Amino acid sequence: VGPHRPSWQREDWPPKINGDMTAVLDGNWPAPQALAGKIEARLNPQNGAQDIEAVRAATLDSIRAIMMIRAYRFRGHLAANLDPLGIEPPGSHPELD
């Protein structure tokens, strides 16, 4: 808190014109070369970064979970028991397995 600012004022408000949070929304992000240093700094193990394989495995797990949720949202009704008399045999749906 500086001498010319109130104690309740946030450091990150108002957002910077070309800050990371606004760039995500408006698409005005810097060139990839400008971001390379920032990415390398975050991947540096001395900064507490994880190794590439752990990040890749976590990413794949997240994608698989999202795809499974999406499959049940779109195809979940196919696995529902909508035949109370049992006239039609239950079918197999590989995308829900």
- Whether 35 and 55 share a structural domain: no
Q: Tokens at residue 17, please?
A: 């014109």
The residues, any chain, with a CB within 8 Å of residue 96's CB and separated by 6 or more, are: 71, 72, 75, 76, 78, 79
pLDDT band at 90 (very low <50, low <70, confident <90, very high): confident
- Whether 28 and 66 share a structural domain: no
Tell me, yes or no, whether 62 lies in a domain.
yes
Q: Tokens at residue 15, please?
A: 């957002």
Tell me, yes or no, whether 20 lies in a domain.
yes
Is residue 69's pLDDT more than 80?
yes
Least confident of 43-47, 54-58, 88-92: 43-47
pLDDT band at 91 (very low <50, low <70, confident <90, very high): confident
pLDDT band at 21 (very low <50, low <70, confident <90, very high): low
Tell me, yes or no, whether 60 lies in a domain.
yes
- Whether 36 and 67 share a structural domain: no
Query: 24: domain range?
Result: 1-49
Is residue 61's pLDDT more than 80?
yes
Cβ–Cβ under 8 Å, residues 93 and 78: yes
Cβ–Cβ under 8 Å, residues 79 and 96: yes
Tell me, yes or no, whether 25 lies in a domain.
yes
Global pTM reads: 0.40
Residue 23's pLDDT is: 66
Is residue 7's pLDDT more than 90?
no
Q: Quote the distance between the C-alpha of residue 27 and its chain's center.
A: 17
- Whether 45 and 1 share a structural domain: yes
Residues 35-59 have a mean pLDDT of 74
Domain count, the chain: 2
Going from the C-alpha of 52 to that of each of 23, 25, 83, the distances in angstroms are 25, 27, 49
- Whether 43 and 55 share a structural domain: no
